[in-house]
Protein backbone atom coordinates (compact mmCIF):
# COMPACT_ATOMS: atom_id res chain seq x y z
CA UNK A 1 0.00 0.00 0.00
CA UNK A 2 1.27 3.43 -0.94
CA UNK A 3 1.13 6.41 1.39
CA UNK A 4 1.32 10.07 0.42
CA UNK A 5 -0.01 13.13 2.23
CA UNK A 6 -1.76 10.80 4.66
CA UNK A 7 -3.69 9.12 1.83
CA UNK A 8 -3.43 5.36 1.31
CA UNK A 9 -4.32 3.71 -2.01
CA UNK A 10 -3.84 0.11 -3.21
CA UNK A 11 -0.58 -0.31 -5.12
CA UNK A 12 -1.98 -2.92 -7.51
CA UNK A 13 -4.51 -0.47 -8.96
CA UNK A 14 -1.69 1.71 -10.32
CA UNK A 15 -0.73 -1.20 -12.54
CA UNK A 16 -4.29 -2.29 -13.35
CA UNK A 17 -5.90 -2.46 -16.77
CA UNK A 18 -9.59 -2.89 -15.95
CA UNK A 19 -12.11 -4.62 -18.18
CA UNK A 20 -15.73 -3.87 -17.33
CA UNK A 21 -18.11 -6.77 -17.89
CA UNK A 22 -21.90 -6.69 -17.99
CA UNK A 23 -22.32 -10.36 -16.98
CA UNK A 24 -25.58 -11.09 -18.84
CA UNK A 25 -23.98 -10.08 -22.16
CA UNK A 26 -20.32 -11.13 -22.17
CA UNK A 27 -20.11 -14.92 -22.44
CA UNK A 28 -22.30 -17.95 -21.76
CA UNK A 29 -21.07 -21.35 -20.61
CA UNK A 30 -22.77 -24.68 -21.26
CA UNK A 31 -21.77 -25.61 -17.70
CA UNK A 32 -24.48 -23.32 -16.31
CA UNK A 33 -28.05 -24.51 -16.86
CA UNK A 34 -30.32 -21.96 -18.50
CA UNK A 35 -34.03 -21.12 -18.04
CA UNK A 36 -36.36 -21.90 -20.93
CA UNK A 37 -37.23 -18.35 -21.97
CA UNK A 38 -34.02 -16.70 -23.09
CA UNK A 39 -33.41 -14.15 -25.83
CA UNK A 40 -31.14 -15.28 -28.64
CA UNK A 41 -27.55 -14.15 -28.10
CA UNK A 42 -27.29 -12.15 -31.32
CA UNK A 43 -30.68 -10.39 -31.15
CA UNK A 44 -30.80 -6.70 -30.16
CA UNK A 45 -30.78 -6.22 -26.37
CA UNK A 46 -34.01 -5.27 -24.63
CA UNK A 47 -34.66 -3.56 -21.32
CA UNK A 48 -35.97 -6.64 -19.55
CA UNK A 49 -34.80 -9.60 -21.62
CA UNK A 50 -32.04 -12.04 -20.64
CA UNK A 51 -29.21 -13.39 -22.80
CA UNK A 52 -28.03 -15.50 -19.85
CA UNK A 53 -24.35 -14.85 -19.91
CA UNK A 54 -22.74 -16.23 -16.75
CA UNK A 55 -19.62 -16.24 -14.62
CA UNK A 56 -18.27 -19.51 -15.96
CA UNK A 57 -18.51 -17.97 -19.40
CA UNK A 58 -16.09 -15.32 -18.14
CA UNK A 59 -13.81 -18.06 -16.78
CA UNK A 60 -13.72 -19.64 -20.23
CA UNK A 61 -12.71 -16.31 -21.80
CA UNK A 62 -9.89 -15.45 -19.41
CA UNK A 63 -7.34 -16.51 -22.04
CA UNK A 64 -8.86 -13.94 -24.40
CA UNK A 65 -8.70 -11.23 -21.75
CA UNK A 66 -5.16 -12.07 -20.74
CA UNK A 67 -4.05 -12.00 -24.39
CA UNK A 68 -5.54 -8.50 -24.64
CA UNK A 69 -3.45 -7.47 -21.63
CA UNK A 70 -6.21 -7.25 -19.01
CA UNK A 71 -5.22 -7.82 -15.38
CA UNK A 72 -8.32 -6.60 -13.51
CA UNK A 73 -12.06 -7.19 -13.92
CA UNK A 74 -14.90 -4.91 -12.86
CA UNK A 75 -18.17 -6.85 -12.84
CA UNK A 76 -21.54 -5.17 -12.93
CA UNK A 77 -23.80 -6.57 -10.15
CA UNK A 78 -23.79 -10.35 -9.79
CA UNK A 79 -26.11 -10.89 -6.80
CA UNK A 80 -29.55 -12.51 -6.98
CA UNK A 81 -31.91 -10.08 -8.68
CA UNK A 82 -35.04 -9.89 -10.89
CA UNK A 83 -33.31 -7.60 -13.43
CA UNK A 84 -30.81 -8.46 -16.17
CA UNK A 85 -28.55 -5.65 -14.91
CA UNK A 86 -29.00 -6.82 -11.29
CA UNK A 87 -29.21 -3.38 -9.71
CA UNK A 88 -32.44 -4.64 -8.04
CA UNK A 89 -30.91 -6.88 -5.35
CA UNK A 90 -32.91 -9.73 -3.77
CA UNK A 91 -30.15 -11.32 -1.74
CA UNK A 92 -26.74 -9.74 -1.19
CA UNK A 93 -25.18 -13.00 -0.03
CA UNK A 94 -26.11 -15.11 -3.06
CA UNK A 95 -24.73 -14.83 -6.57
CA UNK A 96 -27.62 -15.03 -9.04
CA UNK A 97 -28.29 -18.67 -10.01
CA UNK A 98 -28.57 -17.59 -13.66
CA UNK A 99 -24.91 -16.57 -13.37
CA UNK A 100 -23.97 -19.92 -11.81
CA UNK A 101 -24.40 -19.07 -8.13
CA UNK A 102 -21.69 -18.77 -5.51
CA UNK A 103 -19.71 -21.79 -6.81
CA UNK A 104 -19.29 -20.09 -10.20
CA UNK A 105 -17.97 -16.95 -8.56
CA UNK A 106 -15.61 -19.07 -6.47
CA UNK A 107 -14.22 -20.61 -9.66
CA UNK A 108 -13.92 -17.23 -11.37
CA UNK A 109 -12.02 -15.74 -8.44
CA UNK A 110 -9.69 -18.72 -8.18
CA UNK A 111 -8.93 -18.79 -11.89
CA UNK A 112 -8.46 -15.04 -12.12
CA UNK A 113 -6.17 -14.92 -9.09
CA UNK A 114 -4.06 -17.77 -10.51
CA UNK A 115 -3.37 -15.47 -13.47
CA UNK A 116 -2.54 -12.47 -11.31
CA UNK A 117 -5.85 -10.78 -12.14
CA UNK A 118 -7.94 -8.83 -9.60
CA UNK A 119 -11.75 -8.78 -9.47
CA UNK A 120 -13.92 -5.99 -8.08
CA UNK A 121 -17.67 -6.12 -7.55
CA UNK A 122 -20.48 -3.62 -8.02
CA UNK A 123 -21.94 -2.68 -4.62
CA UNK A 124 -25.52 -1.41 -4.72
CA UNK A 125 -26.03 -0.23 -1.15
CA UNK A 126 -28.37 2.73 -1.59
CA UNK A 127 -31.40 0.67 -2.59
CA UNK A 128 -32.60 -2.91 -2.85
CA UNK A 129 -35.64 -4.42 -4.60
CA UNK A 130 -39.26 -5.22 -3.84
CA UNK A 131 -38.18 -8.82 -3.44
CA UNK A 132 -35.56 -8.03 -0.81
CA UNK A 133 -36.59 -9.99 2.30
CA UNK A 134 -37.09 -7.12 4.75
CA UNK A 135 -38.99 -5.02 2.21
CA UNK A 136 -41.13 -7.94 1.13
CA UNK A 137 -41.87 -8.61 4.80
CA UNK A 138 -43.37 -5.13 5.19
CA UNK A 139 -45.22 -5.54 1.90
CA UNK A 140 -46.91 -8.65 3.29
CA UNK A 141 -47.39 -7.57 6.93
CA UNK A 142 -47.69 -3.79 6.86
CA UNK A 143 -47.51 -2.12 10.27
CA UNK A 144 -47.03 -5.53 11.92
CA UNK A 145 -43.64 -6.11 10.30
CA UNK A 146 -40.62 -5.82 12.60
CA UNK A 147 -38.64 -4.30 9.69
CA UNK A 148 -40.50 -1.01 9.35
CA UNK A 149 -37.36 1.00 10.09
CA UNK A 150 -35.33 -0.60 7.28
CA UNK A 151 -37.01 1.71 4.75
CA UNK A 152 -38.78 5.07 4.86
CA UNK A 153 -42.50 4.36 4.64
CA UNK A 154 -45.14 7.10 4.46
CA UNK A 155 -48.24 4.98 4.83
CA UNK A 156 -49.76 1.51 4.70
CA UNK A 157 -50.53 -0.73 2.99
CA UNK A 158 -47.32 -0.41 0.99
CA UNK A 159 -48.10 0.63 -2.59
CA UNK A 160 -45.29 -1.24 -4.31
CA UNK A 161 -47.10 -2.07 -7.53
CA UNK A 162 -50.04 0.34 -7.82
CA UNK A 163 -51.33 3.55 -6.29
CA UNK A 164 -49.29 6.51 -5.07
CA UNK A 165 -45.74 5.63 -4.06
CA UNK A 166 -45.63 5.78 -0.25
CA UNK A 167 -41.98 5.00 0.47
CA UNK A 168 -38.62 6.44 -0.54
CA UNK A 169 -37.29 4.91 -3.72
CA UNK A 170 -34.33 5.72 -5.94
CA UNK A 171 -35.48 8.30 -8.52
CA UNK A 172 -39.05 7.44 -7.47
CA UNK A 173 -38.85 4.01 -9.12
CA UNK A 174 -41.12 1.63 -7.12
CA UNK A 175 -38.88 -1.37 -7.86
CA UNK A 176 -35.95 0.28 -6.04
CA UNK A 177 -36.85 0.98 -2.38
CA UNK A 178 -34.18 3.11 -0.71
CA UNK A 179 -32.55 1.82 2.49
CA UNK A 180 -32.89 3.84 5.67
CA UNK A 181 -29.20 3.85 6.57
CA UNK A 182 -29.88 5.72 9.81
CA UNK A 183 -31.15 2.42 11.23
CA UNK A 184 -28.28 0.59 12.99
CA UNK A 185 -29.48 -2.81 11.77
CA UNK A 186 -29.37 -1.60 8.16
CA UNK A 187 -25.86 -0.20 8.56
CA UNK A 188 -24.69 -3.43 10.18
CA UNK A 189 -26.24 -5.47 7.38
CA UNK A 190 -24.59 -3.45 4.59
CA UNK A 191 -21.23 -3.46 6.36
CA UNK A 192 -21.46 -7.23 6.68
CA UNK A 193 -22.04 -7.50 2.92
CA UNK A 194 -18.94 -5.38 2.31
CA UNK A 195 -16.87 -7.68 4.51
CA UNK A 196 -18.36 -10.98 3.35
CA UNK A 197 -17.36 -10.77 -0.30
CA UNK A 198 -13.86 -9.57 0.50
CA UNK A 199 -13.47 -12.53 2.85
CA UNK A 200 -14.79 -14.64 -0.03
CA UNK A 201 -11.90 -13.32 -2.14
CA UNK A 202 -13.09 -10.26 -4.08
CA UNK A 203 -10.52 -7.48 -4.40
CA UNK A 204 -12.71 -4.43 -3.92
CA UNK A 205 -15.93 -2.57 -4.60
CA UNK A 206 -17.22 -0.19 -7.20
CA UNK A 207 -19.98 1.68 -5.35
CA UNK A 208 -23.21 2.45 -7.20
CA UNK A 209 -24.62 5.99 -6.69
CA UNK A 210 -22.80 6.43 -3.34
CA UNK A 211 -23.65 10.14 -3.14
CA UNK A 212 -27.28 9.09 -2.61
CA UNK A 213 -26.16 7.91 0.84
CA UNK A 214 -25.46 11.45 1.99
CA UNK A 215 -23.64 10.37 5.13
CA UNK A 216 -19.86 10.65 5.26
CA UNK A 217 -19.63 8.62 8.46
CA UNK A 218 -21.40 5.71 6.75
CA UNK A 219 -18.68 5.62 4.10
CA UNK A 220 -15.90 6.12 6.64
CA UNK A 221 -17.16 3.09 8.52
CA UNK A 222 -17.50 1.16 5.27
CA UNK A 223 -13.84 1.91 4.52
CA UNK A 224 -12.77 0.79 7.98
CA UNK A 225 -14.69 -2.46 7.61
CA UNK A 226 -13.41 -3.20 4.10
CA UNK A 227 -9.80 -2.28 4.79
CA UNK A 228 -9.98 -4.32 7.99
CA UNK A 229 -10.47 -7.41 5.85
CA UNK A 230 -7.99 -6.45 3.12
CA UNK A 231 -5.90 -3.28 3.35
CA UNK A 232 -5.29 -3.52 -0.41
CA UNK A 233 -8.99 -3.64 -1.30
CA UNK A 234 -10.03 -1.01 -3.86
CA UNK A 235 -13.00 1.28 -3.14
CA UNK A 236 -14.16 3.20 -6.21
CA UNK A 237 -17.27 5.39 -6.16
CA UNK A 238 -19.58 6.27 -9.02
CA UNK A 239 -19.34 10.05 -8.76
CA UNK A 240 -19.78 11.91 -12.06
CA UNK A 241 -18.55 15.33 -10.93
CA UNK A 242 -15.95 16.81 -8.57
CA UNK A 243 -15.44 14.11 -5.91
CA UNK A 244 -13.06 15.83 -3.47
CA UNK A 245 -15.56 15.32 -0.64
CA UNK A 246 -15.09 11.55 -0.85
CA UNK A 247 -11.38 11.51 -1.75
CA UNK A 248 -9.72 12.79 1.42
CA UNK A 249 -8.27 9.39 2.34
CA UNK A 250 -11.05 8.43 4.76
CA UNK A 251 -13.78 7.24 2.37
CA UNK A 252 -13.03 6.10 -1.21
CA UNK A 253 -9.73 5.36 -2.90
CA UNK A 254 -10.99 6.67 -6.23
CA UNK A 255 -13.99 7.37 -8.44
CA UNK A 256 -15.04 6.50 -11.96
CA UNK A 257 -13.41 9.46 -13.69
CA UNK A 258 -16.22 10.84 -15.83
CA UNK A 259 -14.54 14.26 -15.78
CA UNK A 260 -11.74 12.57 -17.74
CA UNK A 261 -14.33 10.98 -20.05
CA UNK A 262 -15.93 14.31 -20.94
CA UNK A 263 -12.59 16.00 -21.61
CA UNK A 264 -11.36 13.16 -23.81
CA UNK A 265 -14.58 13.14 -25.82
CA UNK A 266 -14.52 16.93 -26.16
CA UNK A 267 -11.04 16.89 -27.70
CA UNK A 268 -10.67 13.65 -29.60
CA UNK A 269 -14.13 13.86 -31.15
CA UNK A 270 -13.78 17.49 -32.24
CA UNK A 271 -12.89 16.48 -35.80
CA UNK A 272 -14.99 13.29 -35.90
CA UNK A 273 -18.62 12.79 -36.88
CA UNK A 274 -19.67 13.54 -33.31
CA UNK A 275 -23.35 12.76 -32.75
CA UNK A 276 -24.89 14.65 -29.79
CA UNK A 277 -28.16 12.75 -30.24
CA UNK A 278 -26.57 9.61 -28.83
CA UNK A 279 -25.73 11.15 -25.46
CA UNK A 280 -29.04 12.82 -24.69
CA UNK A 281 -30.61 11.70 -21.40
CA UNK A 282 -27.32 10.31 -20.06
CA UNK A 283 -25.05 11.68 -17.38
CA UNK A 284 -22.63 12.78 -20.10
CA UNK A 285 -25.30 15.12 -21.42
CA UNK A 286 -25.45 17.04 -18.15
CA UNK A 287 -23.96 20.48 -17.55
CA UNK A 288 -24.04 21.54 -21.17
CA UNK A 289 -23.30 18.19 -22.73
CA UNK A 290 -20.00 17.33 -24.39
CA UNK A 291 -18.31 20.62 -25.27
CA UNK A 292 -15.87 20.47 -28.16
CA UNK A 293 -12.46 21.82 -27.10
CA UNK A 294 -9.16 22.43 -28.89
CA UNK A 295 -5.66 21.34 -27.87
CA UNK A 296 -5.04 24.45 -25.77
CA UNK A 297 -8.31 24.05 -23.86
CA UNK A 298 -7.70 20.34 -23.45
CA UNK A 299 -4.30 20.97 -21.92
CA UNK A 300 -5.78 23.49 -19.50
CA UNK A 301 -8.54 21.09 -18.47
CA UNK A 302 -6.10 18.21 -18.00
CA UNK A 303 -3.92 20.42 -15.81
CA UNK A 304 -6.96 21.34 -13.69
CA UNK A 305 -7.92 17.69 -13.48
CA UNK A 306 -4.42 16.73 -12.34
CA UNK A 307 -4.58 19.39 -9.61
CA UNK A 308 -8.08 18.49 -8.43
CA UNK A 309 -6.97 15.49 -6.34
CA UNK A 310 -3.80 14.38 -4.59
CA UNK A 311 -1.26 12.55 -6.83
CA UNK A 312 -1.84 9.36 -4.84
CA UNK A 313 -5.53 9.53 -5.79
CA UNK A 314 -4.83 10.42 -9.44
CA UNK A 315 -2.83 7.24 -9.90
CA UNK A 316 -5.80 5.01 -9.03
CA UNK A 317 -8.74 6.88 -10.61
CA UNK A 318 -10.74 4.63 -12.92
CA UNK A 319 -10.31 6.33 -16.31
CA UNK A 320 -13.03 5.22 -18.70
CA UNK A 321 -14.19 6.13 -22.20
CA UNK A 322 -17.68 4.68 -21.79
CA UNK A 323 -19.68 2.26 -19.63
CA UNK A 324 -23.00 0.46 -19.21
CA UNK A 325 -24.54 3.86 -18.36
CA UNK A 326 -23.44 5.67 -21.52
CA UNK A 327 -23.55 5.18 -25.26
CA UNK A 328 -20.45 3.54 -26.69
CA UNK A 329 -17.55 5.88 -27.50
CA UNK A 330 -17.45 4.71 -31.11
CA UNK A 331 -21.16 5.42 -31.56
CA UNK A 332 -20.94 8.92 -30.10
CA UNK A 333 -18.00 9.55 -32.45
CA UNK A 334 -20.16 8.62 -35.42
CA UNK A 335 -18.14 5.46 -36.07
CA UNK A 336 -14.84 7.34 -36.36
CA UNK A 337 -12.32 4.66 -35.41
CA UNK A 338 -9.42 7.12 -35.42
CA UNK A 339 -11.07 9.04 -32.54
CA UNK A 340 -11.29 5.85 -30.50
CA UNK A 341 -7.68 4.94 -31.27
CA UNK A 342 -6.39 8.36 -30.26
CA UNK A 343 -8.46 8.39 -27.07
CA UNK A 344 -7.32 4.87 -26.16
CA UNK A 345 -3.63 5.67 -26.55
CA UNK A 346 -4.14 8.77 -24.40
CA UNK A 347 -6.01 6.66 -21.83
CA UNK A 348 -3.16 4.13 -21.72
CA UNK A 349 -0.45 6.76 -21.31
CA UNK A 350 -2.28 8.93 -18.74
CA UNK A 351 -2.10 8.66 -14.92
CA UNK A 352 -4.77 6.43 -13.42
CA UNK A 353 -6.21 2.97 -14.08
CA UNK A 354 -7.65 2.57 -17.60
CA UNK A 355 -10.99 0.79 -17.86
CA UNK A 356 -12.18 -0.82 -21.10
CA UNK A 357 -15.89 -1.48 -21.50
CA UNK A 358 -16.28 -4.99 -22.86
CA UNK A 359 -16.15 -5.13 -26.64
CA UNK A 360 -14.81 -1.64 -27.29
CA UNK A 361 -11.59 -3.29 -28.42
CA UNK A 362 -13.33 -5.10 -31.29
CA UNK A 363 -15.42 -2.14 -32.42
CA UNK A 364 -18.72 -2.78 -30.63
CA UNK A 365 -21.19 0.07 -30.92
CA UNK A 366 -24.35 0.98 -29.04
CA UNK A 367 -26.53 3.98 -28.29
CA UNK A 368 -28.34 4.62 -25.02
CA UNK A 369 -29.32 1.80 -22.65
CA UNK A 370 -30.20 -0.94 -23.49
CA UNK A 371 -28.37 -0.67 -26.82
CA UNK A 372 -24.99 -0.07 -25.14
CA UNK A 373 -25.39 -3.48 -23.48
CA UNK A 374 -25.29 -5.70 -26.57
CA UNK A 375 -23.98 -9.26 -26.42
CA UNK A 376 -20.31 -9.79 -27.17
CA UNK A 377 -20.01 -11.40 -30.64
CA UNK A 378 -17.71 -14.39 -30.24
CA UNK A 379 -17.64 -14.95 -34.00
CA UNK A 380 -14.21 -13.49 -34.81
CA UNK A 381 -15.35 -12.61 -38.34
CA UNK A 382 -17.40 -9.84 -36.68
CA UNK A 383 -14.38 -8.32 -34.93
CA UNK A 384 -12.37 -5.30 -35.99
CA UNK A 385 -8.99 -6.94 -35.53
CA UNK A 386 -7.08 -3.83 -36.56
CA UNK A 387 -8.69 -2.01 -33.64
CA UNK A 388 -8.07 -4.92 -31.27
CA UNK A 389 -4.40 -4.98 -32.28
CA UNK A 390 -4.19 -1.25 -31.55
CA UNK A 391 -5.66 -1.79 -28.07
CA UNK A 392 -3.18 -4.61 -27.42
CA UNK A 393 -0.20 -2.48 -28.43
CA UNK A 394 -1.33 0.48 -26.35
CA UNK A 395 -1.90 -1.76 -23.31
CA UNK A 396 1.47 -3.46 -23.77
CA UNK A 397 3.19 -0.08 -23.94
CA UNK A 398 1.65 0.94 -20.61
CA UNK A 399 2.58 -2.32 -18.94
CA UNK A 400 6.15 -2.24 -20.26
CA UNK A 401 7.05 1.25 -19.00
CA UNK A 402 6.39 2.29 -15.36
CA UNK A 403 6.50 5.98 -16.33
CA UNK A 404 3.07 5.67 -17.95
CA UNK A 405 1.62 4.23 -14.76
CA UNK A 406 3.47 6.10 -12.02
CA UNK A 407 5.47 8.89 -13.64
CA UNK A 408 5.01 12.65 -13.84
CA UNK A 409 2.68 14.10 -16.48
CA UNK A 410 3.65 17.28 -18.37
CA UNK A 411 1.71 19.13 -21.03
CA UNK A 412 4.28 20.25 -23.62
CA UNK A 413 2.11 21.74 -26.36
CA UNK A 414 -1.56 22.22 -27.11
CA UNK A 415 -3.06 24.18 -29.99
CA UNK A 416 -5.99 23.63 -32.35
CA UNK A 417 -5.96 19.94 -33.36
CA UNK A 418 -2.68 18.99 -31.74
CA UNK A 419 -1.71 17.97 -28.23
CA UNK A 420 1.73 16.84 -27.05
CA UNK A 421 2.62 15.72 -23.56
CA UNK A 422 5.45 14.06 -21.68
CA UNK A 423 5.71 11.28 -19.12
CA UNK A 424 8.82 10.85 -17.03
CA UNK A 425 10.05 8.74 -14.17
CA UNK A 426 13.67 8.43 -13.10
CA UNK A 427 15.65 7.88 -16.32
CA UNK A 428 12.64 7.24 -18.54
CA UNK A 429 11.38 10.18 -20.62
CA UNK A 430 8.62 9.94 -23.23
CA UNK A 431 6.92 12.40 -25.55
CA UNK A 432 3.44 11.47 -26.80
CA UNK A 433 2.26 13.26 -29.94
CA UNK A 434 -1.45 13.47 -30.76
CA UNK A 435 -2.11 14.68 -34.31
CA UNK A 436 -5.81 15.28 -34.87
CA UNK A 437 -5.20 17.29 -38.03
CA UNK A 438 -5.93 16.06 -41.54
CA UNK A 439 -2.31 16.68 -42.49
CA UNK A 440 0.96 14.77 -42.14
CA UNK A 441 2.94 16.14 -39.20
CA UNK A 442 6.58 16.48 -40.27
CA UNK A 443 7.95 18.57 -37.41
CA UNK A 444 7.38 19.06 -33.73
CA UNK A 445 6.43 22.55 -32.55
CA UNK A 446 8.71 24.44 -30.22
CA UNK A 447 7.70 23.43 -26.72
CA UNK A 448 7.29 25.91 -23.91
CA UNK A 449 10.72 25.81 -22.16
CA UNK A 450 9.24 25.84 -18.64
CA UNK A 451 7.41 22.61 -19.38
CA UNK A 452 10.00 20.89 -21.49
CA UNK A 453 13.47 21.22 -19.98
CA UNK A 454 13.42 17.66 -18.70
CA UNK A 455 12.70 16.44 -22.24
CA UNK A 456 15.16 18.69 -24.05
CA UNK A 457 18.19 17.84 -21.94
CA UNK A 458 20.82 16.35 -24.19
CA UNK A 459 18.93 17.31 -27.35
CA UNK A 460 16.05 15.79 -29.22
CA UNK A 461 17.22 12.20 -29.58
CA UNK A 462 14.14 9.95 -29.55
CA UNK A 463 13.09 6.49 -30.67
CA UNK A 464 9.55 5.80 -31.92
CA UNK A 465 7.83 3.10 -29.89
CA UNK A 466 4.39 3.08 -31.48
CA UNK A 467 3.73 4.49 -34.94
CA UNK A 468 6.98 3.38 -36.59
CA UNK A 469 8.61 1.23 -33.90
CA UNK A 470 12.40 1.42 -33.90
CA UNK A 471 12.74 4.60 -35.98
CA UNK A 472 15.16 7.08 -34.39
CA UNK A 473 14.78 10.85 -34.78
CA UNK A 474 17.41 13.47 -34.05
CA UNK A 475 15.34 16.63 -33.64
CA UNK A 476 16.41 20.24 -33.57
CA UNK A 477 14.04 22.49 -31.62
CA UNK A 478 11.14 23.46 -33.87
CA UNK A 479 12.79 21.99 -37.01
CA UNK A 480 11.56 18.42 -37.10
CA UNK A 481 11.50 18.13 -40.88
CA UNK A 482 15.21 17.38 -41.04
CA UNK A 483 14.82 14.39 -38.76
CA UNK A 484 12.71 12.33 -41.14
CA UNK A 485 9.85 12.37 -38.65
CA UNK A 486 6.43 11.80 -40.24
CA UNK A 487 3.13 11.27 -38.44
CA UNK A 488 0.03 10.47 -40.46
CA UNK A 489 -3.19 12.50 -40.19
CA UNK A 490 -5.40 11.66 -37.20
CA UNK A 491 -2.85 9.43 -35.56
CA UNK A 492 -0.46 9.41 -32.62
CA UNK A 493 2.87 8.07 -31.52
CA UNK A 494 5.11 7.66 -28.49
CA UNK A 495 8.74 8.75 -28.54
CA UNK A 496 11.32 7.55 -26.01
CA UNK A 497 14.35 9.70 -25.24
CA UNK A 498 17.69 8.01 -25.88
CA UNK A 499 20.57 8.56 -23.49
Residue 480: pLDDT band by 50, 70, 90 thresholds?
very low
When the pLDDT of each residue in the chain is averaged and rounded to a whole number, the result is: 93
pLDDT surpassing 50 at residue 121: yes
Q: Known catalytic residues?
A: 208, 238
pLDDT at 273 over 90: no
pTM of the predicted structure, to 2 decimals: 0.96
| pLDDT above 80: residue 3 | no
User: 159 or 289: whose pLDDT is higher?
Assistant: 159
Task: DSSP for 406-451, please give it.
Answer: HSEEEEEEEETTEEEEEEEETTEEEEEEEE-SSS-B-SPPPPPHHH
Confidence of residue 204 (pLDDT cuts 50, 70, 90): very high
The mean pLDDT value for 330-336 works out to: 93
| pLDDT score of 272 | 74
Domains of the chain: residue spans and CATH: 2-126+179-400 (3.20.20.80), 406-497 (2.60.40.1180)
Q: What is the pLDDT of residue 280?
A: 63
- Give the per-residue pLDDT at 287: 39
Q: What is the pLDDT of residues 415-425, one digit of tens each?
A: 999 999 999 99
Distant-in-sequence contacts of 28-37, Cβ < 8 A, 24+ apart: 28/52, 28/53, 28/54, 28/57, 29/54, 29/56, 29/57, 29/59, 29/60, 29/100, 31/56, 31/100, 32/56, 32/57, 32/98, 32/99, 32/100, 32/104, 34/98, 35/98
- The mean pLDDT of 385-409, rounded to a whole number, is 97
The predicted structure's pLDDT at residue 109: 98
How big, in percent rounded to 5, are the helix, strand and coil portions of the chain? 35, 20, 45
pLDDT at 6: 80
The whole-number pLDDT of residue 286 equals 43
pLDDT of the residue at 1: 47
pLDDT band at 198 (very low <50, low <70, confident <90, very high): very high
Amino acid sequence: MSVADGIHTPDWVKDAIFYQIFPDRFASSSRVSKPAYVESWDSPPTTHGYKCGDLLGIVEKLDYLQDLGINALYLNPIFQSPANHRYHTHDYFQVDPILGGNPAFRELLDEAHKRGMHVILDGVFNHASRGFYQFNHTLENGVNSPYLDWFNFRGFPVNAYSGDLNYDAWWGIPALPKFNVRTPAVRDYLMSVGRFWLEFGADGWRLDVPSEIDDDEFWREFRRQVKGVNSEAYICGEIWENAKRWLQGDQFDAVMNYLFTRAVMGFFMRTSKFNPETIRDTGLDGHGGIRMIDGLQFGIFIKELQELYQPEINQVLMNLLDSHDTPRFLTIAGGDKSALKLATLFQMTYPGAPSIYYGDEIGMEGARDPDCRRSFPWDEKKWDNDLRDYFKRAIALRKQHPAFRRGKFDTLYGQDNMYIYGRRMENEHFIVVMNLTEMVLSELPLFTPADSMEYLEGGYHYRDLFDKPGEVYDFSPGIGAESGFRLSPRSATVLQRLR
